[in-house]
Amino acid sequence: MKATILYGPGDVRVEERDLPRIEQPTDAVIRISATCVCGSDLWPYRGLQAINGPTPMGHEYCGIVEEVGSAVRTVKPGQFVIGSFFASDNTCPHCHVGYQTSCQQREFISTAQAPVLRVPMADGTLVATPDVPPDAMVPSLLTVSDVMGTGWFAAVAANVKPGMTVAVVGDGAVGLLGVLSAQRMGAERIIAMSRHEKRQQLARAFGATDIVSERGDEGVARIMDITKGIGADAVLECVGTQQSMMQAIRSTRPGGSVGYVGVPHGVELNGEELFFSHVRLHGGPAPVRRFLPELIDLVWNGKIDPGKVFDLELPLDQVAEGYRAMDERRAIKALLRP
């Protein structure tokens, strides 16, 4: 099969690779209906994260089960399934409390930008939809594999409740879907921080009531203005830089919470400032598996349409253009069809 391989900075290719097959009795092999490029794929693509030789890419996926190992019980061939970017057993103590991305047996999925994918621990990892979905629903279902689940976790971690004022730092796909998540959870006021016209429009479509285009200290000052000097009840940090993290913490009211899901790159926190801020921090790699049944249900019943974050769709053999477009911020997120 032809699959995506990253060779080095700016050099992503589609090359022949062995077809995945069942290796463990708990595996499933699925035929990918759609996959996509993630903001986190851009770190190695930009050379900001080292790779060890040619590296297969992709961790967001959905598709039809082709084959299952002899021990698999809950999914079967022909079903349309979605899984998280970490495979998990869904039975260990960490999975039991809903932290499947810390599963004692977790395995990162890293070969999904391909026509066929092997998924370990299929029973614990994959959730089937009620039926094979219509083609138009596939992009929205794909987002629950990572970006929608991650935006949702940011809102859960920030403890978003009905009536709250919520600020979202970051206008990538995760931040935009954080806006949608806060809206679903009943936030009254949602302040999206973005300076990008097209992304501001999508943020508004997802439920943002205010847009702040300033960053850093100026961005914090604007949030303070809007909230009459109090700060937001909940802030979703969806970038992962020092500036975005401090912007999130300083925009939060005493007793409020920051949900942070941007993978930190060089973030360092000052203990004394944190102590006197009275702000709660919770975040990490989103335990997407916890939210899959609920989010699949919301998409299936037309309550949410997170697939709107895909503003570029390409056949898999043009994956390089998907990386380029996202790197140059010409596209929010690129969907790939094998």
Nearer to Zn ion, 164 or 332 (CB): 332
Q: What are the tokens at 219? A: 């961005």
Contact 216, 195 (CB under 8 A): no
Q: Does residue number 109 form part of the binding site for Zn ion (CB under 5 A)?
A: no
Residue among 89 and 171 whose Cβ is closer to Zn ion: 89
CB nearer Zn ion, residue 84 or residue 251: 84
Q: Is 309 a binder of Zn ion (CB under 5 A)?
A: no
Choose one: 102-110, 200-208, 257-265, 314-322; the region binding Zn ion (CB under 5 A). Answer: 102-110
Torsion of CA 243, 246, 252, 254, to 10 degrees: -170
Query: How many whole angstroms separate alpha carbon 295 and alpha carbon 184?
Result: 11
Three-class secondary structure assignment of 162-207: CCCEEEEECCCHHHHHHHHHHHHCCCCEEEEECCCHHHHHHHHHCC
Site for Zn ion in 34-93 (CB under 5 A): 38, 88-89, 92
Segment near Zn ion (CB under 5 A); pick from 31-39, 73-81, 300-308, 329-337? 31-39
**Contact region for Zn ion (CB under 5 A) — 15-23, 141-149, 232-240, 275-283?**
141-149
CB nearer to Zn ion: pick between 256 and 287: 287
Residue 267, token pair as written in the block: 């973030």
Shortest distance in whole angstroms from residue 92 CB to Zn ion: 3
Q: What share of the chain is helix, strand, coil (3-state, %, to 5)?
A: 35, 25, 40
| Residue among 65, 81, 95, 168 that touches Zn ion (CB under 5 A) | 95
Nearest distance from residue 214's CB to Zn ion, in Å? 28
**Rounded to an integer, what distance in angstroms lies between the CA atom of residue 127 and that of residue 132?**
12
Residue carrying structure tokens 């299929």: 122
Q: Alpha-carbon distance 156 to 288, whole Å?
A: 12
Interface with Zn ion includes 146 (CB under 5 A)? Answer: yes
Exposure class string for 220-254: b at 16+ Cβ within 10 A, else e: bebbbebbeeebbbbbbbbbbbeebbbbbbbbbbe
CB-nearer residue toward Zn ion: 164 or 335: 335
Shortest CB 163 distance to Zn ion, Å: 31
- Using the contact rule CB under 5 A, the part of the chain among 10-18, 140-148, 165-173, 296-304 near Zn ion is 140-148
- The answer to whether 103 contacts Zn ion (rule: CB under 5 A) is yes
Chain residues binding Zn ion by CB under 5 A are: 38, 88-89, 92, 95, 103, 146
